[in-house]
Chain A
């Protein structure tokens, strides 16, 4: 990440891939109410992705609109963090993933709302409120799962252990970006640590810190996700309904 184009693209890809993963929960959530909540959150992420990718396309100036960026790039051209492309796993895994993502997005969008770029500031101001809701929702569930039954605690801790290595990538320093992600670490910790403590979950020690998503080097999961997401647009370019 460096200039506004790369920055808008990376944030847009985070939101787009997160929306696609959350959409996989539709009709499969543990409860009907939760099904609707997850669909709501997926649509919020998709809305932010559309704004960010549209703006990225304008900044690029190569005639690529939001659809071209979403549906006609392959995995090496995506700039999302690895965290969002990981499979949903069980409900605990998805809730911990959403907690880590939204605890990063809230301070990010908040800082963006005050940045010099007017378009990015407007997008940040809109997306911040939605992300605050996502954070609230995932925090509620992580607390209940972690401090629930033996089985829900075991699953929640397994999710934290498995996902924790991936959150380091979110805070890779980038002084040239409109908002330097390294400056968001304190806000993230201030939110996530109390939630994990209340959920009786142990915060893993820093060990393996996978990265590469911002440079287009992804896990095996992204190309499968894109194949499913892009098949219709690639088969019927420009299809409308």
Chain B
């Protein structure tokens, strides 16, 4: 009887990708979900199938999930502190010119 050993490591042939889609009339890419694919080209291909149903005129970004750095939920108090006591940080003294949209 040998001691139970580590199971053999299976190489990941289809890593995880995060998918961002800009709809035909959309202004920006929105995260819509994730998928597994062996490489970027197939990730795009799969994203088109899974998230856009092959509509014309949409833009897709795929990013390896490993390339995304996320903020830590534990630090959110200091990380996202609105600093409401520092009035000089608030851009409330500026007139927004006409014609500037989506600011």
Task: Please report A residues at the B interface, Cβ cutoff 8 Å.
Answer: 31-34, 36-37, 40, 133, 136-137, 140, 144
Contacts and interface: CB of A to CB of B under 8 A. Distances in A.
Contacts of A33: 35-37, 46, 49-50
A133 B54 CA distance: 10
Contacts of B31: none
Main DSSP-derived SS at the A contact region: helix
B65 interface: no
Given A33-B36, A36-B50, A37-B46, 20 more contacts: A31-B14, A31-B36, A32-B36, A33-B35, A33-B37, A33-B46, A33-B49, A33-B50, A34-B46, A36-B46, A37-B45, A37-B49, A40-B49, A133-B54, A136-B45, A140-B41, A140-B42, A140-B45, A144-B38, A144-B39
A137 B48 CA distance: 12
A215 B54 CA distance: 37
Contacts of A144: 38-39, 42
Nearest to A149: B13
B29 to A, nearest CB: 20
A33 B39 CA distance: 13
26 contacts: A31-B14, A31-B36, A32-B36, A33-B35, A33-B36, A33-B37, A33-B46, A33-B49, A33-B50, A34-B46, A36-B46, A36-B49, A36-B50, A37-B45, A37-B46, A37-B49, A40-B49, A133-B54, A136-B45, A137-B45, A140-B41, A140-B42, A140-B45, A144-B38, A144-B39, A144-B42
B40 to A, nearest CB: 11
Interface residues of B, number: 13
Interface centre among A32, A33, A34, A140 (most CB of B within 10 A): A33
Contacts of A34: 46
Closest CB pairs A-B (n = 4) = A33-B46, A37-B49, A33-B35, A36-B49
Contacts of A133: 54
Contacts of A140: 41-42, 45
Nearest to A137: B45
Nearest to B11: A149
Contacts of B54: 133
